[in-house]
Amino acid sequence: MTDFLPWIVGLFFFALVVYYVWNSLRETQTTTSPEDRYHHALEMWLDGDLAVATEILHDLVHDHPQSIDPYLQLGTLLRLQGDPGRAVVLHRGLTVRTDLSRPKKVIVGLALAEDLLDLQQWNDAKEVLDTLVRDASAKTRYWKARFVHWHEMGNLPEAGRALQQGMKSAPEADRSWFSSAYVSYQLDRALQHVRAGEFKAAGPCLKDVKNIPEAHSRLILVRAILAASDNNPAEALTLASKELLDSPHELSLFLPMLQHVLLQSGQYSRTVPILERACQSEHAPPSLWINLALLYEKLGQRDKALRLLESKSCRAGFTPDKAAPFLKLLVKDNPGTDFSRVWNVLEIPAESHDCKCSHCGHHETVIRWFCPQCHEFETFQAEPRITEAI
């Protein structure tokens, strides 16, 4: 018996240690308030650790089912992580709670509407938003949700009006966003109408933004494209020469179409002074210089073309791939040189004419100012020569 006494004593002390550690952990858990755990979850969310934040909130609503904010935020986190179905269940459950204040009901309702929009349940989302119009019309989230709903329902004029109403009703700090989004959306709509040959339908969209200063250059761009598409080269040329020269990016988008229209109308050489002035701008893209050089070449003025390109020496972005269209002409005229032999064995990649949304990766073959996939604005990366697809 005495031989086992040390083992018995040791096991007794080990059990005491285990009990002490377990009790300490239990006391720590019970002394951490629900508010502290909730704030910790929000901190994890802000730090970008959505998985940990979700786990904390899940445990919190399990331990305190009467809570409101943890339920609300857990649903939002689930939606952000691609699970709007579970988010709907949580947020719907909150809408039937009798202990919610009216402001809290509005927040829950907006979250539920956003879940339903993610699930593409447009009619259900409309019903929820309709119930919130009296109490939520001063909130940014409400008008953003309204915009998405109307756009996806195919009612584009109402979608535009939702953005316009946000300019008036949203908090002051967000009104500039709505203004910018409204301009982008209406001009994008107008451009889609022009490309579809629906010239009359483009007019009201342009009229809606004509008095908004930040819309000016793009408004002129769309009007010029409209004139060119409607076989009115004189109007297209006037707009380009008077209005777009100080906007080299918009001019570079429009120029290929303008050149085509002028060539068909017998006014091709009138493009030269437009390009010459535009190329003097320090913001003019290299594609503009190459367009002018190619135009000089077509008019038999190669010396002017070479002097122009030499004057752009060491400019940022002026690379061999940008100059390839002009180099190709030189190679064609000098077939026996070493340079031409090397050039002819090279594979020159074709310039991409795709636009890609930097937010969701959606591709378009033409420039867009609004992404129909993720409903973001100004996210397409446009290549300088992408206008060939306009």
Q: What does the buried/exposed string (b/e) look like for 247-267 if buried means 16 or more CB atoms within 10 Å of the residue's CB?
A: bbbbbbbbbbbbbebbeeeee
Please tell me the least confidently modeled range out of 24-28, 39-43, 313-317.
24-28
Residue 332's alpha-carbon distances to 64, 86, 294, 336, 340, in angstroms, are 79, 64, 14, 9, 8
Average pLDDT of the chain? 84
pLDDT over threshold 80, residue 28? no
The torsion region of residue 316 among left (phi > 0), alpha (psi -120 to 50) and beta comes to: beta
- What digits encode the pLDDT tens for the residues 67-84? 889 889 999 999 989 999
- What digits encode the pLDDT tens for the residues 180-228? 999 999 999 999 999 899 999 999 999 999 999 999 999 999 999 999 8
Task: Specify the pLDDT at position 132.
Answer: 96
pLDDT over threshold 70, residue 26? no
Task: Specify the pLDDT at position 381.
Answer: 78
Task: Give the highest mean pLDDT range of 176-185, 346-355, 358-367.
Answer: 176-185
pLDDT over threshold 50, residue 372? yes
- pTM reported for the whole predicted model: 0.75
- What digits encode the pLDDT tens for the residues 233-283? 778 878 887 888 778 778 777 877 776 776 676 666 777 887 788 788 777
Task: Specify the pLDDT at position 87.
Answer: 94
DSSP strands (E only) in 257-348:
none
Task: Specify the pLDDT at position 5.
Answer: 57
- What digits encode the pLDDT tens for the residues 87-113? 999 999 999 888 889 999 999 999 999
Residues in the chain: 390
